[in-house]
Amino acid sequence: MMTEIENHIEQLERTAAERALVADLSTTIDIRVENARLADELRLLAARLRAQQQRKARAH
């Protein structure tokens, strides 16, 4: 069973993938750059949350 935080992490990862796709398909440079930046930030946030979750699991 997935925890609430795991669900949030997966949602962040899905949204990051969607933003990356929008960036790749965009014909407007501003939209491409903004969506690529957002995808990077979401991936980083998801990675940090996952690492924190793993540290917490090891501590118990």
DSSP assignment of the chain, as one string? ---HHHHHHHHHHHHHHHHHHHHHH-SSHHHHHHHHHHHHHHHHHHHHHHHHHHHHHHH-
Q: Which residue has the tokens 């118990």?
A: 60
Query: What are the residue ranges in the chain where pLDDT is below 50?
Result: none
The contacts of residue 13 (CB under 8 Å, 6+ apart) are: 42, 43, 46
Q: Residue 60: its pLDDT value, please?
A: 79
User: Could you tell me the residue range of the domain that residue 53 belongs to?
Assistant: 4-59
Q: Residue 2: its pLDDT value, please?
A: 74
Domains identified in the chain, total number: 1
